[in-house]
Structure 1
Amino acid sequence: MHINVLVREADVPIDNISKEPWAGVDHGVYLLLKKGIIPGYTYGDFDSITEEERRFIDEKLDINPVESEKDDTDLEIALLDLTGRGYTSIDVYGATGGRLDHLLGNTQMLLHEKLADVKIRIIDAHNVVELLAHGRHEVSKDKKMKYVSFLPMYDGTVLTLEQFKYPLMGTKLSLGSTLTISNEFTGERGSVETSEPILMIQSID
């Protein structure tokens, strides 16, 4: 099952996917409702909305805010809950802008052991971020994106790339190396084999 998640203002239009299932996180709940989209699930402490926005939400939905002082971020709570409900494909919008700690935390969160079997993509106007688990993958080129980069999360990751402009064959990667930045697909699909989980980022420029 697939679902979309809106965290905050997204820099990509979501109207064309408004008929798909949606969940809202904090301010994302208000933004969805303003677009006429009723989220199936809502999450957050709602500390990023105004009193006027809260009244607007309350007119449309019954929400149960979590405590603002908690161990997990609102997005992590959302992803874990949705995974527990059986969703195996989740696209997240509005998770890359604003605070840098949230951006880095959101990408590292893809390594959470309870999210390992879920296809999660973090999407904005310029990038599509996805974690590839260890093993072999046949990946597809996003038609809007020109470049594809691979960022190892573990030192010594061994990577093989086929059907890419710059192929690799069993190459060991070091953390901090830029070897696998700004590659390109040679066709519509490519083959990736990695010994450890690795981030795949498709970008416009």
Structure 2
Amino acid sequence: MGICYIIGAGDFGSGTVAASEGDYIIAGDGGYRLCKERGIQPDLVVGDFDSLGYRPDHPNVRSFRPEKDFTDMHIAVKEGMALGYKHFVIFGGTGGRLSHTMANIQLLAELASEGCEAVLMGTNSRIFVIHNSKISFEKEEEGYISVFSLSDRSEGVSLRGLKYLLEDAVLTNVFPLGASNEFLGEVSEIEVRDGTLLIITEKKF
């Protein structure tokens, strides 16, 4: 299948939605306003619409009560997973309330545990989570890259093709050893044998 794009109400971040055949776009609550502003046509709109302030005039809307266990972004992700998508690109999931950004990082962890690939697009940054797997970056990548353990221990961690290297190391969630690494203009790779890693790329200013 293609890419499931999720649009939230936070900062739109870098990049753009360039949907192709087989892709699917879901707007979560106030993300519908961002879609309208940017000329993006969502396939589905979900949420309690407390942020948007009204129920969208859209042919495919699913409304929820504000008193619920799932955030609007979580509902959107669940809808995409139910449709069978395994690759997610999330816009509007950073900025604003820090608690919402943290909730969306946890969504990335859930997706990684389900074998999905996902990226949370921030302003001049991208956020990834991998679980018992690896991720690679092309030589054109520039700027900083930081790696943190979300699990208590992440074992068999290797950082290759970056300024600071690791091979079969252990990262913990109480020591930020992987902060502020750098791309070197070559293909790079991050791998973890047993654990969950949070990976953040940032542009230099």
Bin for the TM-score computed over the shorter chain: 0.7 to 0.9
Match of 2:48 in 1: 45
Q: Which moved more, 1:187-196 or 1:140-149?
A: 140-149
Is 1:30–2:33 an aligned residue pair?
A: yes
Change in Cα spacing, 1:150 to 1:171, as seen in structure 2 (3 Å) is same
Which residue of 2 is the match for residue 17 of structure 1?
A: 17
Q: Relative to structure 1, is the Cα distance of residues 115 and 68 closer, same or farther in structure 2, using a 3 angstrom cutoff?
A: farther
Cα displacement (A) at 1:115: 5.6
Letter in 2 for 1:77: I
Q: What does the per-residue CA deviation read over 1:89-148, in whole Å, with 9 as the maximum and x for residues that have no partner? A: 11111111111111111102222278621111100222101111213x241148564011
Question: Normalised by the size of structure 1, how large is the TM-score?
Answer: 0.85
Give the whole-Å Cα distance in 2 for the aligned partners of 1:193 and 1:184.
Answer: 16
**Equivalent residue runs for 1:100-115 within 5 Å:** 100-112=98-110
Which residue matches 2:61?
63
Give the secondary structure class of the aligned counterpart of 2:74: helix
Answer yes or no: is the 8 Å Cα contact 1:83–1:115 preserved in 2.
Answer: no
**How many angstroms apart in 1 are the aligned matches of 2:152 and 2:118?**
23
Separation (CA, whole Å) in 2 of partners of 1:2 and 1:83: 11
Structure 1 unmatched ranges of 5 or more: none
Matches within 5 A, 1:1-205: 1-12=2-13, 16-20=16-20, 21-51=24-54, 54=55, 57-58=56-57, 60-112=58-110, 116-135=114-133, 137-141=134-138, 143=140, 145-158=142-155, 159-194=157-192, 195-205=194-204
Against the structure 1 CA distance between its residues 142 and 203, is the aligned structure 2 distance closer, same or farther, given a 3 Å change threshold? farther
Which SS does the other structure have where 1:17 is aligned? coil
Secondary structure at the counterpart of residue 47 of structure 1: coil
Q: Which runs of at least 4 in structure 1 moved beyond 6 Å after TM superposition?
A: none
Q: How many pairs are equivalent?
A: 198
Counterpart residue type for residue 45 of structure 1: D
1:63 Cα deviation (Å)?
A: 2.3
Over the aligned positions, Cα root-mean-square deviation in angstroms equals 2.3
Identity value in percent:
25
8 A Cα contact 2:147 2:197, kept in partner = yes
Alpha-carbon distance in 2 for matches of 1:126, 1:139: 19
Cα 1:128/1:113, change in 2 over 3 Å: closer
Structure 2, gaps ≥5 residues long: none
- Give the direction of change, closer, same or farther, for the CA distance of 1:113–1:28 in structure 2 (3 Å limit): closer
TM-score (norm 2): 0.85
Structure with greater proportional strand content: 2
Residue 4 of structure 1: SS of its match in structure 2?
Answer: strand
